[in-house]
Structure 1
Amino acid sequence: MKKLNYLLIVGAATLGLAVHSCSDSYLEQPALGSLSDEVLASKEGVNSLLIGAYGALDGSGNGNPWEVAPSNWIYGDIAGGDAHKGSDGGDQPAINSIATFRTDASNGFLNNKWRADYEGVSRANSVLAVLATMPEGELTEAEATNIEGQAKFLRAHFYFDLKKMFNMVPWIDETTTIYQQPNDQDVWPMIEADFKFAYDNLPATQSEVGRANKWAAAAYLAKSYLYQKKYAEAKAVFDQVITEGQTSNGLAYGLLDNYYEVFYAQWENHKESVFAIQMVSHDGTNGISNANDGNMLNFPYNATFRCCGFFQPSQDLVNSFKTNPATGLPYLENYNANPVKNDMGVNSSDPFTPYTGTLDPRLDWTVGRRELPYLDWGLHGGQNWVRLQSYGGPYSPKKYVYWQETQEANADQSSWAPGTANNVLIIRFADVLLMAAEAEIELDNLEKAREYINQVRGRAANEDGWVHTYVDNGNPLEGFTNTPAANYKINLYPAFADKEEARKAVRFERRLELGMEGHRFFDLVRWGIAKIVLDAYFDYEGSVTSDVTGASFTNDKNEYYPIPQAQIDISRVDGETTLTQNPGYQ
């Protein structure tokens, strides 16, 4: 099974959208670098356009890569309280206002995010437009339907991202001829229709692992239902995904035995990968645009990674991994009481003893902590690995950082900050189980929900998959012992007392399982608890670091980001703008 090669976009996706020169010569010959309609309306041409649409998944070419990162680490995790911006206050200051909900429509990050998603929409639309002009016999019916299904899946993905970011966005499809469309209609029905078409028409497996299949479309369709609180519809599709679903390379969906194997290139495209954006290092371009460059800032400062000290996990997130020493369950209330010990203000040359209380073992695959193994790079160095503790806290990100043992293959040092071959997981099977559990709870099926939640917790309880103590003996992978690195204790939930307890459990489990994966802010918004949770976060975290002190969340405004002013300005028709700003940002 081949891995889809997004590099084929050269001479394909951008060519079909080429802008002609201002000279009259374009009337006599195609612009250099463009392809004729006849070439595009061929099997090779339309497939190249489709690969170009996949190539838009990483957002590259629309501002700095971190501004448009498909992992949504800024808009989902920093805005959701799982992480600080990190670095220092003067570095990438546009993120500061996003983290504290003081941003406005002039923030260039938001404009570039909008542009990146609509670039993807445009490329998907180009595929569908060309497909409609294909000569008879150029494609079999099955080939044409497969291409159409993939293009509609990708378009729905980009619109889903736009919807959860900006809410009211203009719908542009392959039939649109006037692009200054108003944002006065809800795009959920169109997103649903695209995912439904893909679910109904895509094959279960594909020739290349990076391509969307029917089960990825099903999971995304069910997620769309869940976001709209259509719980019965979501449950019906989740049931099918859980019992029948398989990856594009034919693996029945399931949880990997070890939590850490989910995130790293050496185990990629596994049975838990429902839909992932494919990344590759050393692609021959002497750059990292295909090597997860959206996360290029997110490595410990100094240490051996060179750059850049961003995306530092919050103390609030770390505290959520505490477990009750008697039950092995999380503290669903007051988890910030008796916080996990950190090394704030402790020099790396001074002794430090980590927290000795009981913890969920997923903490130390999510967060880099002082004196705990940092993958196979040895023990986390504390203050020396952090740019400014007082601003961003004492912790480092850990998911998606490359391992020392496999760095030659999976790290790319072609730029001033590292790239990696680690795929970006948009939906994984643990996420599916927890979303399905949410639907079951709202339908009063608490026992089924508990089964799904406990499947996820049961994997985390596998001691083989815990972080173990590490002794640096010169051979990275041989340094691990059989002794757990911290006092890990995790157990399964007993029967829930009522629906409210079940809700709290599944919401907390999503944070523990999916922490630092771009979901948190969007989860809080759709649950309707963003203000309660984030104001409490600001009150607590503001006593730990200086970056979010005094921040607050405003209901009926901050649930969505402002429509970028640059987009409003260019939407004018006859002197009137067609785009309307979101409430509270006028």
Structure 2
Amino acid sequence: MKKIFLVIPLFLLMSCEDVLTEKPKAVAVQTFYNTAGEVETAVNAVYEQLRATNGISGQLGAQLEAYTDYSYGRGSYQVLSDFQGLNSTNIPRTDDGWRLFYLSIRNANLVIANAPKGKNISTADVAKYTAESKFLRAFSYFWLVRNWGAVPIRTEVTLDEANIQRSSVEDVYNLIIADLTEAEANLPETQTQVGRATKWAAKAALAEVYFTQNKYKEARDKANEIIQSQKFSLVPVTVAADFDKVFGPTVVTSSEEIFYLKMTRQNNQGMYLAMFAHHPGTKLHGAGGFYAHYSDTQTSPVQKAWNDADLRKSFNWIKYDIGLGPNTILCKKFSDPLAPTGTAAGNDFPVYRYTDILLMFAEADNRVNNGPTAAGLEALNQVHRRAYGLPATGASAIDFALSGYTVDTFNELVLSERGYETQYEAKRWLDLKRLGTAKLKQVIKAATGKDVADKHLFWPIPVGELNFNTALDPSKDQNPGY
């Protein structure tokens, strides 16, 4: 059985107004943040929102998976695969994602504001838990800024302020980088509890933030720090089933885990996203499945072009007719036949794996040097070799060669490898977005025949935020198209 830390929300899960104004809150602040144990419990409440069933490892992740070039949405997710924006069914889902991220931010702000006031906690523990909270705050803002654009910045300084204007995308990124830099400096290299953020998680997040901003030198250098540490390695794979050692429901941790949202087989404590991939007839999920996403071996260019010798292909997908024909396939990457409920799959949600770092390094290094280098090529080849069941760090017959690639063709090669490697991890759409609107539209058009409407690039600011945050003007602050 997995051993992960339990999240105890306590009073921190009250409404924002209650926390800021109710008298019991003042007593709680004075008496609750005095010991390392109390502060750690408060930090645990920051994780709770990120692991929620409607968050990125659940319903919000399912939203993003309907936007990919390798699969299609079904049912209420089918309209998302038309790439024309959201409807009345989907908008409440993104609204709830907004709510969860800001709850996580609020809980992080409470720790950042109150931990330094504790009377029986060491300076070192204050620094560690503040850094962990800033990592999680940055994590939430990173998801907000990529999916909603400019958003209100709420920090420990503005805990008592309900009405806050949208900040520019640049200012949001400045806060994210400042928080992650502090986290990198003050988080430990390892944690006693699996699933807590570490210094390496902060470095990985910084690498991705820089990568998303097209700051390729900074992204390359930060990714290289992780590579050169030699603290992570790819899990060996010789047959497709070996990938269960990476993604299986009973895996506690692995040599390639840098930061995962940890799940367990308890109701509302498991990976909800897994439920969206399966059909009851496959018996790959104990609760059945929604089969909200699917692909087709004949109509999907991505699936048709994928080499059958790549073990990720047979591990990730299973043929199953859901009423759309015999060529229909379902993603089985995250399977748990013993999941007791739909929200209780034991599979952890990968945020940063070592493969992410290797592939980020390969592309960023290529862009910095205006062409591939031996180091960047080796990083790419490690992921590629493992996918074919070969030792990751030894030269092989399937290696890509250094000659013959330009900066552009090597970027395409890495993008393709990232597409195969990160399927059903809610990463592909954001990976394409960082390359710019023109590139995203080109990739989606080639794979699906669909045109991406501009309004589909960002989710709408929730009506509740526009109604109750008087610093926002609904006529000016809503994202285009909504």
1-structure distance, mates of 2:40, 2:475: 34
Query: Is 1:39 equivalent to 2:5 in the alignment?
Result: no
Counterpart amino acid of residue 417 in structure 2: E
1:533 to 443, 453, 456: 443
Query: Is 1:52 equivalent to 2:58 in the alignment?
Result: no
What's 1:377 paired with?
none
1:504-552: CA deviations, max 9, x gaps? Answer: 110111011112221111111111211111122232xxxxxxxxxxx42
Superposition map of 1:331-350 within 5 A? 335=305
SS at structure 2 position matched to 1:568: helix
1:75 shift after superposition: 3.6
Query: Is 1:436 equivalent to 2:361 in the alignment?
Result: yes
What's 2:398 paired with?
491
- For structure 1, the 5+ residue unaligned runs are 246-251, 283-287, 323-334, 341-356, 370-381, 466-488, 540-550
SS at structure 1 position matched to 2:8: helix
Query: Is 1:425 equivalent to 2:355 in the alignment?
Result: no
Q: TM-score, normalised by structure 1?
A: 0.72
Query: Is 1:449 equivalent to 2:345 in the alignment?
Result: no
1:273 shift after superposition: 0.7
Counterpart amino acid of residue 85 in structure 1: G
Query: Is 1:562 equivalent to 2:460 in the alignment?
Result: yes
1:419-447: CA deviations, max 9, x gaps? Answer: 21111011100011001111101112512
2-structure distance, mates of 1:146, 1:194: 13
1:502 shift after superposition: 0.6
Give yes or no for contact 1:571–1:578 (8 Å, CA) kept in 2. Answer: no
2:66 to 78, 86, 111: 78
2-structure distance, mates of 1:116, 1:316: 39
Query: Is 1:211 equivalent to 2:196 in the alignment?
Result: yes
1:559 shift after superposition: 2.6
1:412 shift after superposition: 3.0
1:220 shift after superposition: 0.4
Counterpart amino acid of residue 580 in structure 1: D
1:3 shift after superposition: 4.2
1:81 shift after superposition: 2.5
What's 2:13 paired with?
14
1:295 shift after superposition: 3.2
Superposition map of 1:83-162 within 5 A? 83-86=71-74, 89=75, 93=76, 95-104=77-86, 107-135=91-119, 138-162=120-144
Closer, same or farther: CA 579–117 of 1 in aligned 2, 3 Å: farther
1:321 shift after superposition: 5.4
Superposition map of 1:206-245 within 5 A? 206-244=191-229
Residue correspondences, number: 459
Closer, same or farther: CA 439–21 of 1 in aligned 2, 3 Å: closer
1:16 shift after superposition: 9.5
SS at structure 1 position matched to 2:94: helix
Query: Is 1:397 equivalent to 2:331 in the alignment?
Result: yes
Closer, same or farther: CA 242–321 of 1 in aligned 2, 3 Å: farther
- For structure 2, the 5+ residue unaligned runs are none
Give yes or no for contact 1:13–1:48 (8 Å, CA) kept in 2. Answer: no
What's 1:200 paired with?
185
1-structure distance, mates of 2:4, 2:126: 18
Give yes or no for contact 2:57–2:273 (8 Å, CA) kept in 1. Answer: yes
SS at structure 2 position matched to 1:523: helix
Counterpart amino acid of residue 104 in structure 2: G
1-structure distance, mates of 2:357, 2:59: 17
1:463 shift after superposition: 6.0
Give yes or no for contact 2:261–2:349 (8 Å, CA) kept in 1. Answer: yes
Closer, same or farther: CA 81–569 of 1 in aligned 2, 3 Å: farther
1-structure distance, mates of 2:125, 2:312: 43
SS at structure 2 position matched to 1:266: coil
1:122-164: CA deviations, max 9, x gaps? Answer: 11111112213223xx111211111011000000111111111
Give yes or no for contact 1:6–1:55 (8 Å, CA) kept in 2. Answer: no
Counterpart amino acid of residue 99 in structure 1: S
2-structure distance, mates of 1:35, 1:317: 61
Give yes or no for contact 2:372–2:407 (8 Å, CA) kept in 1. Answer: yes
Give yes or no for contact 1:320–1:512 (8 Å, CA) kept in 2. Answer: no
1-structure distance, mates of 2:78, 2:462: 17
SS at structure 1 position matched to 2:477: coil
2:469 to 567, 571, 574: 571
Counterpart amino acid of residue 493 in structure 1: F
Closer, same or farther: CA 243–579 of 1 in aligned 2, 3 Å: farther
Give yes or no for contact 1:296–1:418 (8 Å, CA) kept in 2. Answer: yes
Closer, same or farther: CA 12–4 of 1 in aligned 2, 3 Å: farther
Closer, same or farther: CA 311–393 of 1 in aligned 2, 3 Å: farther
1:239-275: CA deviations, max 9, x gaps? Answer: 1111116xxxxxx211110261211133331111110
1:37 shift after superposition: 2.1
Q: Which structure has greater helix proportion?
A: 2
Query: Is 1:458 equivalent to 2:385 in the alignment?
Result: yes
1-structure distance, mates of 2:17, 2:165: 25
2-structure distance, mates of 1:359, 1:301: 28
Closer, same or farther: CA 438–225 of 1 in aligned 2, 3 Å: same
Closer, same or farther: CA 534–21 of 1 in aligned 2, 3 Å: closer
Give yes or no for contact 1:238–1:436 (8 Å, CA) kept in 2. Answer: yes
Deviates more, 1:506-515 or 1:263-272: 263-272
SS at structure 1 position matched to 2:93: helix
1:97 shift after superposition: 3.3
1-structure distance, mates of 2:45, 2:146: 24
Closer, same or farther: CA 242–273 of 1 in aligned 2, 3 Å: same
1-structure distance, mates of 2:92, 2:350: 26
Counterpart amino acid of residue 256 in structure 1: V
Query: Is 1:172 equivalent to 2:154 in the alignment?
Result: yes
User: Which is greater in Rg?
Assistant: 1
1-structure distance, mates of 2:61, 2:295: 11
Give the superposed CA RMSD: 3.0
2-structure distance, mates of 1:131, 1:552: 49
Q: TM-score, normalised by structure 2?
A: 0.87
